[in-house]
Chains A and B, each alone.
Chain A
Amino acid sequence: MIAVALKGLAGRKVRALLTALAIVIGVSMVSGTFILTDTMKKSFDGIFQASYSDTDAVIQGKEVVEGSLSDSGATVPASVLDRVRDLPEVGAAAGSVFPQEVNPADIIGADGKAVAQESVGMGYDTANLSFSPLKLKSGAWAHGPEQVVIDAGTADKEHYAIGDTVTVATLGERHHYEVTGIVSFGDVDSLGFGSIAAWDNPTAQKLFGKEGRYDQVSMAAKPGTSTDELIRAVKPLVPANLEIKDSAKQADEDAANLDSGMAMFRNVLLGFGGIALFVGAFVIFNTLSITVAQRTREFATLRTLGASRKQVMRSVVTEGLVIGLLASLMGLVAGYGIAKGMIALFSALGTDLPEASTVLAPRTIIVSIVLGTLITLLASTLPARRATRVPPIAAVREGATLPVSRLAAHSLKSGLAVVLGSLAAISAGIFAGGVSAAAVAALLGGGVIGLFIGIALLAPRLVKPLARVVGWPARRTGGVAGELAAANAVRNPGRTASTAAALMIGLTLVTVVAVLGAGLKGSTEAAVNKQIHAGYVVAGENGLPFRASEGDDLAKVQGVTAVSHVRSDTALVDGEERGITGIDPATIAHFYAFEWADGSEDALAHLGTDGAVVTKSYADAEDLAVGEQLSIVTPAGEKRTLVVRGVYDPPKVSQLLGDVSMTQQAFDTAFTQPQNSFTFLDAGDGAQSRLDAAAADMSDLTLHTGSAYATDAGKDLETVLAMLYVLLGFSVVVSLFGMVNTLVLSVFERTRELGMLRAIGMTRRQARRMIRQESVITALIGATLGLSLGVFLAALVTQALSAYDIGLTIPWGELIAFTLVAVLAGIGAAIMPARRASRLNVLSALQYE
């Protein structure tokens, strides 16, 4: 029997391939995600290990506020290094100037701009090079104030060779250096996001204003001395603002931190792969259901020849198994390609990943193959069960059809029950309070999946009325071909329904994203407009702060009439990490509209060195009132006590200032590495070109006009939306294969009928049009279901988020675009089947049984 199944499959290669493709996409997303994240992880792990390869312990500044982008800023005096070296437990020790936010060293390209968005300046001990994470790839280490080494990634991208002169800007000063060597950071040629320039320690210390001090001291224990013994011996020499760390432990910690970040990224991508697989399961189920129905006579013949039900079942399941295995293998290969492509894409977009060889872990292979095969098997069991119910007598009957499945007979009741149950789960997930995040995710995920299945069960009953509506244009404009198409679409409502349902899933999710995105965008813009009124807004790239010195430079541009900087960092406020901003009390109100909940604009004038204004949500959460105190600890370990002078109530989304704001002067004394989240400017006419020119060189910020900033702020969201659309687009592509499959099988099934139509005068064109219109109608049914379900789900979510001022905005443009995409998908899916239908040999079609 299994041989029969395999031979049957081999006889229908194209169909088997089309069916398999439905699963290939999902599997490739899963395997691609694993390969991509594993490769990224290996690259970063390489960096961490490289950083500490010959090092047992390091002395560096204490990390006070984990979430802060600035570090403690504390440096190690050279005297500490000398005393460390004198210890008997220490084999060797070296100081270094290490990558920190305060050591930017922009390599300036031919166009006068920094070649990378981020840059890192480093200094190494020429006598103890093994402590440096940098490894020389070619050339020689730089010595003295005229020489520099740069990273291989930058050298490669910008075509620098040894002996070239390169311009590097450090702390605003530009100098020319000779490139003496090309280095890698550990095993990776590029840090991805940034360029590296490195000098010998004396040069680097001078360039960064750290004469006699190091960012970090690395040491190795004498042979026979354990790391613990080493640390115990060194500890008394370490000043209070510094700490000594076990580097092996540090590397593990860094890797673990990265792991959790990566796991998040991976899980999100896997989620989308899972959606594609879910849609693929629909397609497989539908395709196998149709082929089983068409092979009724074949199964009946097998039964008359003595095959048991079990054997019939096994033959269909075997088919599923083979398709699943085949698809999984193809998916694995495609996933490898996707991962490579993604890495190339990242690099094309300017975000190089650290370079390393692609990782194909055994886990990736096992998970991909097991998942793909299992899902295909699962989707094939229902059709297989139906095949077992073919009675042997069907072999001798003309036009025998499958008995109605038990599930279909109760589809209305079971569909309604599943839909209602799922809606209850979704509502519980959205509205119920006091439930854990995991439970909410389970309720929502399970509810949405259930909702899809329930709608799919109900869909056969919806197909007829929906086809009447969406088939209207076809009937009106398509002539008799359109009328026949509309009639064909409802001939087998179950088949049309599950084909449309597959498309529905992708479109529902896309619609949810679009509606929520529009709502969020609307409220972001409203919130921004409510808060700031400025001629120009300078904001950091990707929501990160930019260098304060750049803000000052822009303020000096001729024509600028008013300016206010907003410093920003993260600090421990009463023991918890909070965003904190430094504002200029004299100028901030000119640009930023405070809506005072407690206190008034006067509060700004009376901030002094210890005053703070806080947001109402923060004040409410911490039960703070005007006059009460809060304590902060900065990343550098500075402690301050602030007095609340005013409470204001900013919009819930896009709150532009931190929970706690102090004066800029006070901020600059407490935070050693001041950076701006915003610089607000007013300027006279004609200043814009000068501002643009000045900002053009600054790679970590963007100059927005005040009127455009609100929309620009929403643009970040558009990137996220675009990414979600692409990821969900894969599911739509999967359903496209389902549509092609259904049409091919329908054409095959209606061969004789098509022959008759051609015989009585249907042209090839009419035949093509008939198939195409049927496909478009199916697609539009999917679109109608998907768009309405999507808007409904988004409305539920919006309702739950109403506390955050996110309104329900229907993005008509997007919804129309999705409908057009569905129509195009329908047309695209019909190309091959329509050709087949139109090319049928009339005579052999007529004689076809």
Chain B
Amino acid sequence: MERLILPPPPNDAPASSAVVTAREVVRRYGEGDTAVDALRGVSLDIDRGRLTAVMGPSGSGKSTLMHILAGLDRPTSGAVTVAGVDVTRLDDAALTKLRRDHIGFIFQFFNLLPMLTAAENIALPLKLAGQKPDPDWLAELVETVGLGNRLGHRPSELSGGQQQRVAVARALVSRPSVMFADEPTGNLDSTTSGEILSLLRDSVDTLGQTTVMVTHDAHAAAIADRVLFLADGDVVRDLGPSTAHEILETLEAVGTR
């Protein structure tokens, strides 16, 4: 099997360039004969201020990888750091605090609280952390995601695209070290998808927001600075900025190996 070896960064390299690191991460489900390895020793660095897309066919382990990088799941072996903290050793309370301070999430199904207004949904992570939202920052955020006159509306009164804009703002509000987007356009039509993608791109360019996006949509991955391809639980390709066409071809190649 072809395996792409990523050069591990030298030990004395400043941690500043990589916000998230993974070393020899293995995730095994089940035990004994029925054990299945979803990840088989993945090592990678997520660089600050860049948009990284993770692609791969179904079952390639891309979702598992994201969950582990985001501290939602624990690797069977290997090490993961987020903002310099080894997340594999944290208990639930410490993990929660880490997520509060350093991680933002965007979900496929938006996952907004139906009883809160858009503004309240956006401010929720700060309030959970017991912080008061800074009005200037909120205004800038609302401006960035373009929700101006919809802030008082509840999710049921918003379109899918608008809901996802709220979700993006909610992920950005705590200025996380890294933002994870799990199929952010998976539940949107193509026009709206385009809007959300450019919003994500904007947030990287103007706010310098480090972002990891898991997607199976080549058009979505095409906005990334770097595209990682997973197959059978390992990183098999690591491309720089690519077109949708290149991505589709690469996907084809890794999928039919």
Which chain A residue lies CB-closest to B170? A760
- The residue of chain B having its C-beta at the shortest distance from the C-beta of A758 within the complex is B96
Q: B residues within 8 A CB of A487?
A: 113, 115-116
Nearest residue (CB) in B for A756 is B111
Cβ B128 vs Cβ A760 within 8 A: yes
Beta-carbon contacts under 8 Å, B59-99 to A: 67, 70, 72-73, 92-93, 96-97, 99
Q: Say whether B116 contacts A763, CB under 8 Å.
A: no
- Asked if B229 is an interface residue, CB under 8 A from chain A, the answer is no
Query: Does B127 sit at the interface, judged by CB under 8 A?
Result: yes
B50 surroundings in chain A (CB, below 8 A): none
Instruction: Pick 10 A–B contacts, CB within 8 A, sort by A.
Output: A480-B127, A758-B96, A759-B70, A759-B72, A759-B105, A760-B104, A761-B128, A762-B128, A763-B93, A766-B128
Listed residue (B70, B124, B128) with the most chain A CB atoms within 10 angstroms of its CB: B128
Q: In the assembly, what is the distance between CA of A766 and CA of B72, in Å?
A: 18
Give Cα distance in the complex from A488 to B104, angstroms.
24
Could you say which residues of chain B place their CB within 8 Å of the CB of A756?
105, 107, 111
Distance of A550 from chain B, by nearest CB (Å) = 71
Within 8 A of B (CB), among A483-506: 483-484, 487-488, 490-491
Asked whether B99 lies within 8 Å of A759 as measured between CB atoms, the reply is yes
Asked if B125 contacts A760 (CB within 8 A), the reply is: yes
A843: contacting residue among B67, B99, B116, B129, CB under 8 A? B67
Q: A480-B127, A763-B128, A766-B128 are in contact. List 6 more A-B contacts (CB 8 A).
A: A488-B115, A756-B105, A759-B70, A760-B124, A763-B93, A846-B107
B73: contacting residue among A491, A761, A843, CB under 8 A: A843
In the complex the two chains form, what is the Cα distance from A759 to B130 in whole Å?
Answer: 16
Smallest CB-CB separation from B102: which chain A residue? A761
**Chain B contact patch, size range:** 20 to 34
Q: For residue A483, which residues in chain B have a CB less than 8 angstroms away from its CB? A: 127
| B96→A761 contact, CB < 8 A | yes
CB distance from A268 to the nearest CB of B (A): 45
* Cβ of A752 under 8 Å from chain B: yes
Interface check B114, CB cutoff 8 A: yes
B64 to A: closest C-beta gap in Å: 10
Q: Which chain A residues (751-769) contact chain B, with CB distance < 8 Å?
A: 752-753, 756-764, 766
- Determine if B100 is an interface residue (Cβ-Cβ < 8 Å): yes
Is the C-beta of A842 less than 8 angstroms from some C-beta in chain B?
A: yes
Give the chain A neighbours of B97 by CB distance below 8 A.
761, 763
Instruction: Collect the chain A residues with CB atoms within 8 Å of residue B129's CB.
Output: 761
Q: How far is the CB of A709 from chain B (nearest CB, A)?
A: 58
CB proximity to A under 8 Å, residues B108-138: 109, 111, 113-116, 124-125, 127-130
Interface size, A (range): 20 to 34
CA distance A762 to B70 in the complex (A): 15
* Closest-CB distance, B230 to chain A (whole angstroms): 18
Q: Which residues of A contact B171 (CB under 8 A)?
A: 760
A490 touches B72 (CB 8 A): no
Question: Does A479 reach chain B (CB closer than 8 Å)?
Answer: yes
- Please state if A843 and B124 are interface contacts (CB–CB under 8 Å): no
* A759 partner residues in chain B, CB cutoff 8 A: 70, 72, 99, 105
In the complex, what distance in Å separates the CA atom of A469 from the CA atom of B72? 38
- Structural contact, B72 and A484, CB atoms closer than 8 A: no
Give the docked Cα–Cα distance between A843 and B70 (Å). Answer: 10
Contact A491 B114 (CB under 8 A): yes
- Given A480-B124, A490-B115, A760-B93 contact (CB < 8 Å): no
Complexed CA–CA distance, A479 and B127 (Å): 8
| 1/0 contact string of B31-70 vs chain A (CB within 8 Å) | 0000000000000000000000000000000000001001
Measured CB to CB, the closest approach of chain A to B48, in angstroms, equals: 21
For A483, A487, A490, A843, the residue with the greatest tally of chain B CB atoms inside 10 Å of its CB is A843
Residue of B nearest to A484 (CB): B113
* B105/A842 in contact, CB under 8 A: no
Contact flags B147-171 to A (C-beta < 8 A → 1, else 0): 0000000000000000000000011
Interface string of A113-125 (1 = CB under 8 A from B): 0000000000000
CA distance A480 to B128 in the complex (A): 6
> A762 contacts B96, CB within 8 Å?
yes
**B45 vs chain A, min Cβ distance (A):** 23
CB distance from B31 to the nearest CB of A (A): 18
Interface centre among A752, A756, A758 (most CB of B within 10 A): A756
Q: Which 3 residue pairs spanning A and B have beta carbons closest together?
A: A761-B100, A480-B127, A756-B111
Task: Kindly list chain A residues whose C-beta atoms are within 8 Å of the C-beta of B96.
Answer: 758, 761-764
Whole-angstrom CA separation of A752 from B182 in the bound complex? 14
Cβ 8 A contact of B99, one of A490, A491, A760, A764: A760
Q: How far is the CB of B25 from chain A (nearest CB, A)?
A: 15
- Nearest CB on B from A759, distance (A): 5
Q: How many angstroms between the C-alpha atoms of A480 and B125 in the bound complex?
A: 10
Contact between chains at B72 and A761 (CB < 8 Å): no
Interface string of A561-593 (1 = CB under 8 A from B): 000000000000000000000000000000000
Q: How far is the CA of A756 from the CA of B70 in the complex (A)?
A: 13
Complex: A846 Cα to B129 Cα, angstroms: 20
In the complex, what's the smallest C-beta–C-beta distance from B71 to chain A, in angstroms? 9
Complex alpha-carbon distance, A491 and B130, angstroms: 24
Shortest distance between the CB of A22 and any CB in chain B (Å)? 28
Neighbouring B residues of A757 by C-beta, 8 Å? 113, 124, 128
Instruction: Tell whether A761 pairs with B99 under 8 Å between CB atoms, given A483-B127, A756-B105, A842-B72.
Output: yes
Which residue of chain A lies nearest to B99 when distances are taken between CB atoms in the complex? Answer: A761
- From residue 717 to 767 of chain A, which have CB atoms closer than 8 A to chain B? 752-753, 756-764, 766
User: What residues of B have a CB within 8 angstroms of the CB of A842 in the complex?
Assistant: 72
Contact with B along A435-452 (1 / 0, CB 8 A): 000000000000000000
How far is it, in angstroms, between the C-alpha of A456 and the C-alpha of B202 when the chains are bound?
Answer: 52
Closest to A759 in B: B105
For A12-29 the 0/1 string (1 means CB < 8 A from B) is 000000000000000000
List the B side residues contacting A758 at CB < 8 Å.
96
- List of B residues within 8 angstroms of A490 by Cβ: 115
CB distance from B113 to the nearest CB of A (A): 7
B124 x A491 contact (CB < 8 A):
no
- Separation of A761 and B125 alpha carbons in the complex (Å): 6
How many Å lie between the Cα of A846 and that of B104 in the bound state? 15
Q: Provide the residues of chain A in CB contact with B109, threshold 8 Å.
A: 752
A residues in contact with B73, CB < 8 Å: 843
Q: Which residues of A contact B170 (CB under 8 A)?
A: 760
Expressed in whole angstroms, the Cα–Cα distance for A488 and B114 within the complex equals: 9
User: Most chain-A Cβ atoms within 10 A of its Cβ — which of B67, B70, B111?
Assistant: B111
Q: Distance in Å from the Cβ of B2 to the closest Cβ of chain A?
A: 30
Contact check: which of A491, A752, A762, A846 meets B115 at CB < 8 Å? A491
In the complex, residue of chain B having the shortest beta-carbon distance to the beta carbon of A838: B92
Hey, which chain A residues are within 8 Å of B130, CB to CB? 479-480
Shortest CB-to-CB span from A177 to chain B, Å, is 76
**Which residue of the partner chain A has the closest CB to B93?**
A763
A491, B155: Cα distance in complex, Å? 13
Residues of chain A lying within 8 A (CB to CB) of residue B124: 480, 757, 760
Among residues of B, the one whose C-beta sits closest to the C-beta of A490 is B115
Interface 1/0 per residue, A449-490 and B, CB below 8 Å: 000000000000000000000000000000110011001101
Q: Which residues of chain B come closer than 8 Å to A479, judged between CB atoms? A: 127, 130
The CA of A340 and the CA of B149, in the complex, are separated in Å by 68
Contacts of A753 in B (CB 8 A): 111, 113
Bound Cα distance from A479 to B132, whole angstroms: 12
Chain B nearest CB: distance from A468 CB in Å?
Answer: 13
Give the chain A neighbours of B93 by CB distance below 8 A: 763-764
Q: Give the distance to chain B from A836, nearest Cβ to Cβ, in Å.
A: 15
A807 to B125, CA, bound (A): 55
Report whether B128 and A752 are in contact in the complex, using a CB–CB cutoff of 8 Å: no
* Contact between chains at A764 and B92 (CB < 8 Å): yes
Distance in angstroms between the alpha carbons of A480 and B130 in the assembled complex: 8
> Which residues on the B side are within 8 Å of A843 (C-beta)?
67, 72-73
Docked Cα-Cα span, A753 to B113, in Å, equals: 7
Distance of B172 from chain A, by nearest CB (Å): 12
Q: Which residues of A contact B113 (CB under 8 A)?
A: 484, 487, 753, 757
A760 cross-chain contacts in B, Cβ below 8 A: 99-100, 104-105, 124-125, 128, 170-171
CA distance A762 to B96 in the complex (A): 7
